[in-house]
Chain A
Amino acid sequence: MYFDCIIAGFGGQGVMVMGNILAYAAIREKKKVTYMPVYGVEMRGGTANCTVVVSDREIGSPIIQRPVCAIVMNLPSLEKFGPRVRKGGLLVVNASLVPEEEIRFRGLQTLSVPSRELALEVGNERLANMVVLGAAVQKSGVVHLRSLKKALYPALDRRYHKMIDMNMKAMDRGAQFVEKGR
């Protein structure tokens, strides 16, 4: 089993925490994992991305030129990382910020997630990243959705634990969107 993924967006969209949660979920499933962040000097508004590699075997490079999967949370990230996804790979797009007509990559599976809309349904638009992560995990099958949800505990600081329920619901909503197409 081998999976790698670049998660990219604006600083403040929760891109790094998505990568962290995915990594913790992989650890729960006793897989090997590396997480490599790349960001500018800004706290918010700059570009941010991270690379997560998950494997049964010892992992070599934590840096990937052509990932199996990319999760792009905004248009600049789509433009930068969309063309780099491996043929036959998975491109997960935050449809709330990326217009449908921008997504034109041949030979890829694409999944457009109306993250803001679904997050509002769950209760807070700031859950958009968790919706997308839930959808990406459901579609790729890299880890079980239940592992992803449980990973919220080690990945989040204790002071945010009261919000875990809501985050789990957001992940479920993303996964449900993949299953039912709405």
Chain B
Amino acid sequence: MAEIEFVKGNEAIAMGAIEAGCRFYFGYPITPQNDIPEYMSRHLPEVGGTFIQAESEIASINMMLGAGATGARAMTSSSSPGISLKQEGISYMCGSQIPGVIINMSRSGPGLGGISPSQGDYFQATRGGGHGDYRTIVLAPYSVQENYDLTMKAFDLADKYRNPVVVLGDALLGQMKEPLRRHKYRKKKGEKDWILTGAKGRSPRLLKSLYLSEGELTEHNWRLYRKYQRMKREIMYKVEFLEGAKLVVVAFGSVARILKSTVAMARDKGMKVGLFRPVTLYPFPYAALDKLSHKVRNFMAVELNTGQMVEDVKLAVGHKKNQVDFYGRPPGSIPSPDELLEEIKKVYNKRVKK
């Protein structure tokens, strides 16, 4: 049995990456994720890896593109404004089908904003934040253990789909410390028959995102589309307190973690409230929510923004009889479990206890 360690969320991400075979890290410092490069700079060289503090975010994403093209497992991490700068590179990686893992321990925006927890980057992460019609898989952990586990999984998914994978957290998930049980990474089978490692003795390969001949780009985009459709197999979500629920709260990441307390408090007060937590934000668990909406009439999305994921919830529970309410806390402060309970009560009293 592995020993239990007491670890900061950011460090758990770095630990998971190294365990999953990440041997290249490129990044540029920004709060609140600096523990990740700090950990990588110390521990990557110990396993023969390479740590580079690049001259900018744009440089680091393009270095990662290069490393990924050779088949290496590579990662970059940043926080919101830095992730914005990386979008061009992410678009090129998607177009060229080059895997890589991008950690966004997001902060409050817009602009330079602040360092407090926020979920203002939901749209950017799930809609493909750069130019072009692309998607990245987005994983949303809500504990230190999940930071570790989902970062490991991110590398497998990136390789499996030859696509960048985003892990979306925030300061709460990065700074919080919790016990962590590290476990051994089990290497996935499969050769990478597309990587650029020198064409000696074989025909040359090409990784590119420029397609100029007639019909070529359309066909390429259809191929990518079919790939995004296949990603639906990876959908993950967690539910709690669903028995007899009259109102289901939908939330991800840090606010879902806070709501775990709130929903327990609501149940103690006799309110039939459940919690649905998407773990993959893209692909979003539309089908699971849709199925639930046949049993439960009322839904409430709660986010640390003024309304982003709620649009996906509405797409999922599109029946006329269903109600989707929303509570959002704009970036800049964190609601406590008690404050959220008041918001849930308002909706519960309006929709359930009328």
Do A and B form a real pair?
Answer: yes
The 8 Å CB contact of A61, one of B4, B175, B261, is B261
Report yes or no: A62 in contact with B257, Cβ–Cβ below 8 A: yes
21 A/B residue pairs, CB under 8 Å, sorted by A = A20-B177, A23-B6, A27-B6, A33-B6, A34-B176, A35-B176, A36-B172, A37-B175, A37-B177, A60-B257, A60-B260, A60-B262, A60-B264, A61-B259, A61-B261, A61-B262, A62-B257, A63-B258, A63-B336, A65-B339, A66-B336
Residues of A within 8 A of B (CB): 20, 23-24, 27, 32-37, 58, 60-66, 154
Q: Is B179 an interface residue (CB 8 A)?
A: yes
Chain A residues near B175: list those with CB within 8 A: 36-37
Kindly provide the distance from the CB of B4 to the nearest chain A CB, expressed in whole angstroms.
6
Q: Which of B6, B175, B336, B339 has the most CB of A within 10 A?
A: B6
Report yes or no: A65 in contact with B337, Cβ–Cβ below 8 A: yes
By DSSP majority rule, is chain B's interface helix, strand, loop, or mixed? helix
A-B pairs with lowest CB-CB distance, top 7: A60-B261, A65-B336, A60-B260, A61-B261, A35-B177, A61-B258, A61-B337
Write out, one digit per residue, whether chain B residues 163-184 have a CB within 8 A of any chain A CB (1) or not (0): 0000000001001111100000
Give Cα A6 to B338, complex, Å.
16
Report yes or no: A27 in contact with B4, Cβ–Cβ below 8 A: yes
Give Cα A62 to B263, complex, Å.
14
Report yes or no: B4 in contact with A64, Cβ–Cβ below 8 A: no
Question: Contacts A60-B264, A61-B261; is A34 near B337 (CB within 8 Å)?
Answer: no
Interface residues of B in 1-53 (CB under 8 A from A): 4, 6
Chain A residues near B262: list those with CB within 8 A: 60-61
Give Cα A20 to B258, complex, Å.
21
Closest to B340 in A: A61
Give Cα A32 to B144, complex, Å.
12
Give Cα A60 to B263, complex, Å.
9
Report yes or no: A33 in contact with B178, Cβ–Cβ below 8 A: yes
Kindly provide the distance from the CB of A89 to the nearest chain B CB, expressed in whole angstroms.
14
Q: Is B242 an interface residue (CB 8 A)?
A: no
Q: Is B334 an interface residue (CB 8 A)?
A: yes
Give Cα A37 to B6, complex, Å.
14
Give Cα A23 to B180, complex, Å.
13
Kindly provide the distance from the CB of A93 to the nearest chain B CB, expressed in whole angstroms.
23
Give Cα A32 to B339, complex, Å.
24
Give Cα A62 to B261, complex, Å.
9
Give Cα A154 to B7, complex, Å.
12
Give Cα A63 to B256, complex, Å.
12
Question: Contacts A60-B262, A61-B261; is A34 near B177 (CB within 8 Å)?
Answer: yes
Give Cα A65 to B341, complex, Å.
12
Kindly provide the distance from the CB of A46 to the nearest chain B CB, expressed in whole angstroms.
14
Give Cα A90 to B176, complex, Å.
24
Closest to A52 in B: B177
Q: Which of B176, B177, B261 has the most CB of A within 10 A?
A: B177
